[in-house]
């Protein structure tokens, strides 16, 4: 049995456990600022998009972030590490409400709620961003990876310090 078949045949409880582990590893990678590892959660031809809910619901193409391949994600990491200028901060991401919508033609659709908290060194922690992940995953290299990750944030306002991935 190949990897894709293994994931397709998992019972709902075991699949949920796999997904919870994946999302926990994803948020830990970002929270610990291991950004160079972040693109490894994605397949080569992927889509990563951060978009306001209103734009998403109206079908408008404008996104705050748009990365159309793993190479774009790596470029974003380079920008974070070498070109962006910003005050030191700590981010914490929490994921809840994980819903498995099911498999369709070898692609697993998943939705989850997220909240991102931000702490600047000399300020109180604040809610930075909240929204919903709308994800499509595929089996690749022995594990589930994101083919598409849409981060649809609830506010109309774009955070002016959106430096790190959500």
DSSP track, 10-50: --HHHHHHHHHHHHHHHHHHHHTT-GGGGGGGEEEEEEEEE
φ, ψ (nearest 5 deg) of residue 74: -65, -40
Averaged pLDDT, 131-147: 96
* Band of pLDDT at residue 1, cut at 50, 70 and 90: low
CB atoms inside a 10 Å sphere around CB 40: 14
Tokens at 3, concatenated: 């990897």
Residue 166 lies in a domain: no
- Decide: 73 and 146 in contact? Cβ < 8 Å: no
* 39 in any annotated domain: yes
Q: Is residue 162 part of a domain?
A: no
Closest CA relative to residue 128, chosen from 93, 87, 78: 93
Question: CATH number of the domain that 32 lies in?
Answer: 3.10.450.50
Q: Highest-confidence range of 21-30, 60-69, 116-125, by mean pLDDT?
A: 21-30
In a domain, 126, yes or no: yes
Residue 152 pLDDT level (bands cut at 50, 70, 90): very high
Can you tell me the mean pLDDT for 153-157? 87
Domain hosting residue 116, numbered range: 3-153
Q: What is the pLDDT of residues 84-95, one digit of tens each?
A: 677 888 999 999
Average pLDDT, the chain: 93
The number of folded domains in the chain is 1
CA 51 to chain CA centroid, nearest Å: 12
Instruction: State the pTM of this model.
Output: 0.94
Query: Kind of pairing, strands 42-52 and 65-67?
Result: antiparallel
Q: Which of 23-27, 113-117, 121-125, 146-150 has the lowest mean pLDDT?
A: 121-125
User: Is residue 102 pLDDT above 90, yes or no?
Assistant: yes
Q: What percent of the chain has pLDDT over 90?
A: 78
Beta strands 65-67; 89-104: pairing state: unpaired
Query: Taking 90 as the threshold, does the pLDDT of residue 157 lie above it?
Result: no
Is 26 within a domain? yes
| Distance of alpha carbon 162 from alpha carbon 28, whole angstroms | 18
Residue 159 lies in a domain: no
* 164 inside domain: no
Say whether 120 sits in a helix, a strand or coil. strand
């Amino acid at each position: 049995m190949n990897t894709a078949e293994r994931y397709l045949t998992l019972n709902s409880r075991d699949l949920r456990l796999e997904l919870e582990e994946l999302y926990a590893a994803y948020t830990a990678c970002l929270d610990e600022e291991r950004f160079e590892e972040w693109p490894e959660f994605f397949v080569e031809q992927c889509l990563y998009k951060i978009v306001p809910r209103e734009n998403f619901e109206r079908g408008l193409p404008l996104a705050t972030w748009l990365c159309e391949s793993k190479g774009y994600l790596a470029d974003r990491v380079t920008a974070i590490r070498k070109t962006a200028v910003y005050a030191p901060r700590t981010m914490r991401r929490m994921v809840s409400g994980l819903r498995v919508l099911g498999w369709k033609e070898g692609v697993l659709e998943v939705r989850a709620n997220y909240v991102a908290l931000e702490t600047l060194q000399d300020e109180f922690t604040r809610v930075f961003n909240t929204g919903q992940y709308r994800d499509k995953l595929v089996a690749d290299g022995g594990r589930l990876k994101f083919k598409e990750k849409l981060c649809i944030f609830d506010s109309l306002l774009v955070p002016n310090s959106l430096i790190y991935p959500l």
